[in-house]
Amino acid sequence: MLDAKYLREHMDDVVAKFNKRGENVEELKNFETLDHKRRSLIQQTEELKQRRNEVSKQVAEYKREGKNADELIQETKEVSTKMKTLDEELREVEQNLQQLLLTLPNLPHESVPQGEDESDNEEVRTWGEPPIFSYEAKAHWELGTELQMLDFERSSKVTGSRFVFYKGLGARLERALINYMMDVHESEHGYEEVIPPFMVNRESMTGTGQLPKFEEDSFKIREEDYFLVPTAEVPVTNMHRDEILNVDELPIKNSAFSACFRSEAGSAGRDTRGLIRQHQFNKVELVTFVKPEESYEMLESLTSHAETILQRLQLPYRVMNMCTGDLGFTAAKKYDIEVWLPSYNDFKEISSCSNFEAFQARRANIRFKREAKGKTEFVHTLNGSGLAVGRTVAAIIENYQQEDGSIVIPEVLRPYMGGRTVIEST
RNA sequence: GGAGAAGUACCCAAGUGGCUGAAGGGGCUCCCCUGCUAAGGGAGUAGGUCGCGCAAGCGGCGCGAGGGUUCGAAUCCCUCCUUCUCCGCCA
């Protein structure tokens, strides 16, 4: 959510930034109308309320003294009636204004390259070399199925498309990666571990920006106003919703494991094979809460923590700075980390690291104080995948494959795989 | 799922229609006393948010949330949420 005061006072800047994003400016005009109306109504009702309070106090006095207060009571009665009408009008205007504010996207940071779509994203750096195969490399869904690590047929029988059974060493590998990632982030990068609820309520989904605009992307529980989490970002960021944090607590760094559930509405036909685009997948997510002046530093560090995992796994990747047109709704700046996938002969997103600045904090009302008696300020929130586990499994299978169809296990994972060095068919 | 109880400021807690921005205590801050500590005496302290204003300030809201009754609600009514206890069920 954008700051209403900022919108009011710097409309030109907001318009310019909306244009950069390719965003419709029409709503901003509606904002001005509603905002103006709201303030005028507030002034009117408050004046009446003040009058009512004064007279009510007088009535009390009269009664105590045994005087007749009928005339005063008559007056407040009238004032109260008028007040209620205005109050109702105000409530409606505020609701509309709030709804409108919830649909406005974040403003891009100045270091974000301008562009229309993913082709305008800027490559920041690359790491490692894509492997060269002397034979025809296989896709992870073929190898995974052959090695009985993955079973896509039975999962579609049991559930439907875009679900998978991990089996045998496939399940073990998935679990090894979760543990390895969580361990590194906890012991080396200083994140406090969290395993959140996998369902959240509507307020939480609104707090991080999934709602109200993107309801069709999520899975809704039928009898409860709950949603399956699309990412641990939602429960973990909302952990501190409506809180005022102490400045000594900052920065808060959490690494969270969760399953993630996405309806993938609108992606029909894309990435239909393999682990890349599932309705359910596991992810280790890094979430941080920081003082505003530290958030861009944190974005770099967060991104590097995700990169560390790929480096230790020896998986080639590149880091992209998302352009204004590809930023998404909530981010002020976003890096995607893309891992090399031989089956795609291309890089594929495996982590997305974003600085939301105060956009989520304002929605979720997450604040802090620098001093006990000081003013409250909104924190900045950030998060990044560290990493998406299913896609990591896919990348390992494909990049570590050998001509005989076996998979070498990355060295750092071997202790998590019972000391095995290779996955091969038996 | 059934029965019951409760939600008041940093914490505990009083308060069933007007003088309650909210008793009392704890805590916290300052002062006094005291060789130090403990104990004691005195004074002070109350969150957040919105509107107007350059500001000082003024005003609105506020006692789990949202509605309602009333001239006036922490106090009465309705709905919801959360916590606790007992019973049932269950990984």
For residues A332 and A322, is the Cβ–Cβ distance under 8 A? no
Question: Could you identify the residue whose CA is nearest to the C1' atom of nucleotide B17?
Answer: A60
Q: Is A172 among the catalytic positions?
A: no
Whether A155 is catalytic is no
Amino acid at position A204, single letter: S
Query: Is the peptide bond preceding residue A108 cis, with omega within 30 degrees of 0?
Result: no
- The DSSP 8-state label assigned to residue A215 in this structure reads G
Q: What is the pLDDT of residue A73?
A: 85
- The SS3 call for residue A337 is strand
How far does the CA of A326 sit from the C1' of B25, in Å?
A: 58
Residue A49's pLDDT is what?
87
ipTM score assigned to the predicted complex: 0.82
- Helix, strand, coil: what percent of chain A each, to 5? 45, 20, 30
Q: Which nucleotide is nearest to A35 (CA to C1')?
A: B51
Which position among A204, A352, A354, A385 bears the catalytic label? Answer: A352
> Is strand B in 7 Å reach of the CB of A80?
yes
Measured in angstroms, what separates residue A248's CA from nucleotide B11's C1'? 21
Contacts of A17 (CB under 8 A, 6+ apart): A107, A108
Per DSSP, the three-state class of A55 is: helix
A4 touches strand B (CB under 7 A): yes
Q: Residue-wise pLDDT tens for chain A (426 aa)? A: 999 989 999 999 999 999 999 999 999 999 999 999 999 999 898 888 888 888 888 888 888 777 888 888 888 888 888 888 888 888 888 888 988 999 999 999 999 999 999 999 999 999 999 999 999 999 999 999 999 999 999 999 999 999 999 999 999 999 999 999 999 999 999 999 999 999 999 999 999 999 989 999 999 988 788 899 999 999 999 998 888 888 888 899 999 999 999 999 889 888 999 999 999 999 999 999 999 999 999 999 999 999 999 999 999 999 999 999 999 999 999 999 999 999 999 999 999 999 999 999 999 988 888 877 677 889 999 999 999 999 999 999 999 999 999 999 999 999 999 999 999 998
C-alpha closest to that of A289 among A370, A360, A207: A360
**Out of A51, A175, A277, A414, which one is annotated catalytic?**
A277
CB proximity A270–strand B (7 Å threshold): no
N-term to C-term CA, chain A: 55
